[in-house]
Structure 1
Amino acid sequence: MKLLVLGATGPTGRHVVDLALRSGDSVTALVRNPAALGDLAAQVTLVTGDATSQRDVATAMFGQDAVVSALGRGNSVTADDLFTRSSAALIGAAKEAGVSRLVWLSSFGVGHTFDWSSTKQKLIYRTLLRSIYADKKIADERIRSSGLDWTVVYPTRLTHGPAKGSYRADDRLPMKGNPTISRADVAAFMHQAAHGREWVHRSAVITN
């Protein structure tokens, strides 16, 4: 598969790139700073650009079979409209390039998944993560109404631990406490989803 990865230099995106390469995919990465990919840079097709620019995304997207977006804000709690701007650029670029398959990373607690959150989770989402989650909600709704073959992924709190290879994924998973899942497991799910049809037009909640 020819796979475009957005957010490839981030902690989840790097897992996606590494897994895709090990699986034999041809990987293109749209990055602002190619050096941030380290050793992986020599193994992928690099396109230098901005994920919020439709022109840059379209340039990277031509000829691809699918797109996996693992864009994130890192440790920042400020949205800066990253997700609304990048979702608009991606949808426009996908239609321009004729690519329909998209796996998009969101967060558990965004939009409709907020209703299934635990009391502890809701407190965090309403305060510390309020700005980012509001931005993600708009982006997620835009993705779902785009006409693309989308999958929106809602992981619980992400960790840097190793992949366990076993996790729960469903359209709806009510939560207790503050569950977690490793970025490596999320990357594995996203990569698998991009290769199949099971999760097309579905929102996947994922946790250990």
Structure 2
Amino acid sequence: MKLLLLGATGPTGLQVVRRAHEEGHDITALVRSPEKLPRLDDRLTVIVGDVTDQQTVADAARGQDAVLCTMGTGKSLTSDVVGRTVDALVPALHTAGVDRLVFLSAFGVGRTKEQASRTQRLFYRTLLRRIYPDKERADRELLASGLDVTLVYPVRLTDQPFDGKYRVGDRFDFAGMPGISRANVAHFMVAQLADPTWSRRIAILAS
């Protein structure tokens, strides 16, 4: 498949790049800092640009079969970059004629907060209280966009290696602060390109 990756230089995005490459996909990465990407073969095309610019995203998306987005806020606890990315992404994909989108969000956003443990809720009310409303708005926009979107809601992300041992569902009752490795999340995201099970749905991921 021909894939456009947004957020490819982040810690989860890099895992998606590696997984998609290992599975033989042709990757186009729209990034601001190309030096952060691994050196791969000619199946990785790098475009330097702004993911919040609608025309830039539309141009990058033309001719692609699907888009995988792992845009996050990095170390910022106040950024609205996810919402601004989605504001550009939805019309850009309609313009480019690309329907399939696998989008990384986060557990605790929207109604999934109701399933969170006390520890998780405390975390969401404090450290993440400014960025989660932006993520929630972005997810609502995606679900209303008419795109064939899978929203991926992992619990706390870790840097543990891939082991393929993770759970996927739309309802969990968690205790404490469960985690899941970015490598496992990348595995799930790339797998959705060939599996319609979670099409137009929210998938919660946990180890």
Range class of TM-score, shorter chain: over 0.9
Match of 1:184 in 2: 183
Which of the pair is proportionally richer in helix? 1
SS, match of residue 107 in structure 1: coil
Q: Distance between the aligned counterparts of 1:124 and 1:156, measured in 2?
A: 12
SS, match of residue 197 in structure 2: coil
> Using a 3 Å threshold, how does the CA distance of structure 1 residues 36 and 124 change in structure 2: closer, same or farther?
same
Amino acid at match of 1:158: L
Q: Distance between the aligned counterparts of 1:24 and 1:140, measured in 2?
A: 29
Runs of 4+ in 1 over 2 A off after TM superposition: 40-43
- 1:199 and 2:194 correspond: no
Q: Is the 8 A contact 2:149 2:200 kept in 1?
A: yes
Q: Give the C-alpha shift of residue 199 in structure 1.
A: 1.0
Stretch moving more, 56-65 or 192-201: 192-201
Amino acid at match of 1:118: S
Q: Give the C-alpha shift of residue 103 in structure 1.
A: 0.5
- Superposition TM-score, scaled by structure 2 size: 0.97
RMSD across aligned positions (CA): 1.1
Stretch moving more, 187-196 or 21-30: 187-196
Q: Distance between the aligned counterparts of 1:173 and 1:70, measured in 2?
A: 23
> Using a 3 Å threshold, how does the CA distance of structure 1 residues 174 and 41 change in structure 2: closer, same or farther?
farther
SS, match of residue 87 in structure 1: helix
Stretch moving more, 34-43 or 17-26: 34-43
Identical-pair percentage: 50
Q: Is the 8 A contact 1:34 1:41 kept in 2?
A: no
Match of 1:50 in 2: 50
Q: Give the C-alpha shift of residue 183 in structure 1.
A: 0.3
- Superposition TM-score, scaled by structure 1 size: 0.96
Q: Give the C-alpha shift of residue 73 in structure 1.
A: 1.5
- 1:118 and 2:112 correspond: no
Q: Is the 8 A contact 2:4 2:29 kept in 1?
A: yes
Q: Distance between the aligned counterparts of 2:88 and 2:60, measured in 1?
A: 12
Amino acid at match of 1:37: L
Amino acid at match of 2:151: V
Q: Distance between the aligned counterparts of 1:54 and 1:40, measured in 2?
A: 27
Gaps of 5+ in 1: none
- 1:14 and 2:32 correspond: no
Q: Distance between the aligned counterparts of 1:177 and 1:15, measured in 2?
A: 26
Match of 2:108 in 1: 109
Count of aligned pairs: 207
Match of 1:94 in 2: 93
Q: Is the 8 A contact 1:35 1:41 kept in 2?
A: no
Gaps of 5+ in 2: none
TM-superposition CA deviations, 1:70-101 (whole Å, max 9, x none)? 1111222122x211110111101100000000
Q: Give the C-alpha shift of residue 42 in structure 1.
A: 5.8
Q: Is the 8 A contact 2:25 2:43 kept in 1?
A: no
> Using a 3 Å threshold, how does the CA distance of structure 1 residues 5 and 41 change in structure 2: closer, same or farther?
farther
Q: Which aligned pairs between 1:62-77 and structure 2 lie closer than 5 A? A: 62-77=62-77
Q: Distance between the aligned counterparts of 2:191 and 2:78, measured in 1?
A: 30
Amino acid at match of 1:19: R
Q: Distance between the aligned counterparts of 1:43 and 1:100, measured in 2?
A: 22
